Amino acid sequence: MGSLDANPAAAYAAFAADVEPFRPLDADDVRSYLHKAVDFVYDYYKSVESLPVLPGVEPGYLLRLLQSAPPSSSAPFDIAMKELREAVVPGMTHWASPNFFAFFPATNSAAAIAGELIASAMNTVGFTWQAAPAATELEVLALDWLAQLLGLPASFMNRTVAGGRGTGGGVILGTTSEAMLVTLVAARDAALRRSGSNGVAGITRLTVYAADQTHSTFFKACRLAGFDPANIRSIPTGAETDYGLDPARLLEAMQADADAGLVPTYVCATVGTTSSNAVDPVGAVADVAARFAAWVHVDAAYAGSACICPEFRHHLDGVERVDSISMSPHKWLMTCLDCTCLYVRDTHRLTGSLETNPEYLKNHASDSGEVTDLKDMQVGVGRRFRGLKLWMVMRTYGVAKLQEHIRSDVAMAKVFEDLVRGDDRFEVVVPRNFALVCFRIRAGAGAAAATEEDADEANRELMERLNKTGKAYVAHTVVGGRFVLRFAVGSSLQEEHHVRSAWELIKKTTTEMMN
């Protein structure tokens, strides 16, 4: 055996005497690093408009630029920042670019970034009220503020305006997927109890429903919650309902399942579907589901933000009769990822399925019933201080500025829609809702798009050519069996001249294709 084995304590003491101790939270380093990081963020936002929106890199590019083995020794922070600028940034798709029109926006703001920074620095883990009282209460407050802006009934609030305890409440989760999953689990357990099932033995009889325009994450969450894929009903939609869920078709499907001895359990209605921004009729869907005591969840991830404006609030009419609703301020309310707000009308239905109560987390506050431990409204136990950035955004900008932000984006989308309608080579495929325009080169617009099939190929080529320029980024979907381009307005840096420039690029590229 060597000398280190003979006297390890002495060997370590000799080693430590010659080495500067490692202090990862040295206050001077924190200040220095953050100043450099803030300078990077400032430079990034000042220059992002000039960067290619979609990077021209190939898979595996980064491994060729950065060392493949972890560094064995420390390096100055400036080295990491240099590699960030030279290797990482050129491979980024710039969602912050004002020329980003794909998917839905991922909005941000100075207040949200500051809130995220401070929350990360505090690094609190707020699984129970006692573990982080202010973090829990600020999240509750921010959620109740947002519920008031959305015009949700008091039953969805943690605290009513009058100061009393509501029957329901909210929690901030990471994504809509999580909101769907936890409510599916609660609905599953309620249906099993209602049907007299012993444990989960009756789960094969439970059925769930959504329109065929519903986000694919719903069908994934259903499988994770244990529902038989054969019992997941995708209700067809069509142009006659602007691709929204038809309550008559929903009733027909639910009644057929009930007649066959199955148990209708959960219906997902969407306000602002990803493909076409279709809106399912919330109140009518709730009325149908009530016949079968099925849980109704409203996915308003994107368009829920618009409902803080009175002129869009009607899209949530009937929400008082649903069991849960979620919306994501990280999409359109200037609060950076991740921030999905889930509200439930009866908190106990959710916590009854998700609650954990190990001895090491027991405390007087939880036992008193005066607080809701947010760990019991999510899949995991640990949780970040998500409420700070949402509160920062609302506290800093106020209702008027938030509404101005939504209305400005909708107005810019209307400008784009009018430009499309003014060019007879194009068509708007579905009526515009909110700030998404679904359009395409129409069949018959020229030899390159003579038939519907030709038009599909022409639109695919148009999208690819646009995105390769780096001057704009658009995405696509399929609506009514046809390839359609999606133009989503809402990037935080976007102004009307960006929308008009994108349209000029679309026109120019289309002309080049057709000549």
CA-to-CA distance for 503 and 66, rounded, in angstroms? 38
Separation between Cα atoms, residue 389 and residue 459, nearest integer Å:
39
Supply 93's token pair. 């798709």
Q: Answer for the pair 476, 450: CB distance below 8 angstroms, yes or no.
A: no
**Do residues 143 and 393 touch, judged by C-beta distance below 8 A?**
no
Q: Using CA atoms, how far apart are residues 350 and 414, in angstroms rounded to an integer?
A: 40
Residue 165 is given by DSSP the state B
* 3-state secondary structure (DSSP) of residue 482: strand
At 115, list the tokens.
Answer: 């809130």
Strand partners, 177: none
List, by residue range, all CATH 3.40.640.10 domains of the chain. Answer: 125-384
Q: Amino acid letter at 507?
A: K
Q: Is 337 strand, coil or helix? A: coil
Chain CA centroid to CA 361, Å: 30
Residue ranges matching CATH 3.90.1150.10 in the chain: 398-514
Dihedral angle, C-alpha 356, 361, 364, 365, nearest 10 ° = -70
* 279: three-class secondary structure by DSSP: strand
Q: Which CATH architecture has domain 398-514?
A: Alpha-Beta Complex (3.90)
> What are the two backbone dihedrals, phi and then psi, of residue 490, each rounded to the nearest 5 degrees?
150, -5
Backbone angles phi, psi at 210, to 5 degrees: -160, 160
Distance (Å, whole) CA 271 – CA 47: 35
Q: How would you list the strands of the sheet with 295-299, edge to edge?
A: 169-173, 340-344, 324-327, 295-299, 263-270, 206-211, 232-235
Entry pTM: 0.92
Instruction: Indicate the burial class of 128 (C-beta count within 10 angstroms; 0-12, 13-18, 19 or more).
Output: buried
Please name the residues in contact with 391: beta carbons below 8 A apart, sequence gap of 6 or more. Answer: 115, 138, 139, 141, 142, 145
Tens place of pLDDT per residue across the chain (515 aa): 444 455 666 655 655 555 778 899 999 999 999 999 999 999 999 999 999 999 999 999 999 999 889 999 999 999 999 999 999 999 999 999 999 999 999 999 999 999 999 999 999 998 888 899 999 999 999 999 999 999 999 999 986 555 556 678 999 999 999 999 999 999 999 999 998 887 788 899 999 999 999 999 999 999 999 999 999 999 999 999 999 999 999 999 999 999 999 999 999 999 999 999 999 999 999 999 999 999 999 999 999 999 999 999 999 999 999 999 999 999 999 999 999 999 999 999 999 999 988 888 888 888 888 888 899 999 988 899 999 999 999 999 999 999 999 999 999 999 999 999 999 999 999 999 999 999 999 998 888 888 999 999 999 999 999 999 999 999 999 999 999 999 999 999 999 999 999 999 999 999 999 88
Q: How far is CA 506 from CA 76, 414, 427, 474, 483, in A?
A: 46, 17, 13, 10, 16
Answer for the pair 97, 51: CB distance below 8 angstroms, yes or no. yes
C-beta of residue 344 within 8 angstroms of C-beta of residue 298: no
CATH 1.20.1440.230: does it fit domain 125-384?
A: no
Distance CA 306, CA 410 (A): 9
**Catalytic one among 42, 243, 343, 360?**
360
45 is known as an active-site residue: no
The one-character DSSP state at 273 is -
How many Cα atoms within 13 Å fall on the side-chain side of residue 488? 29
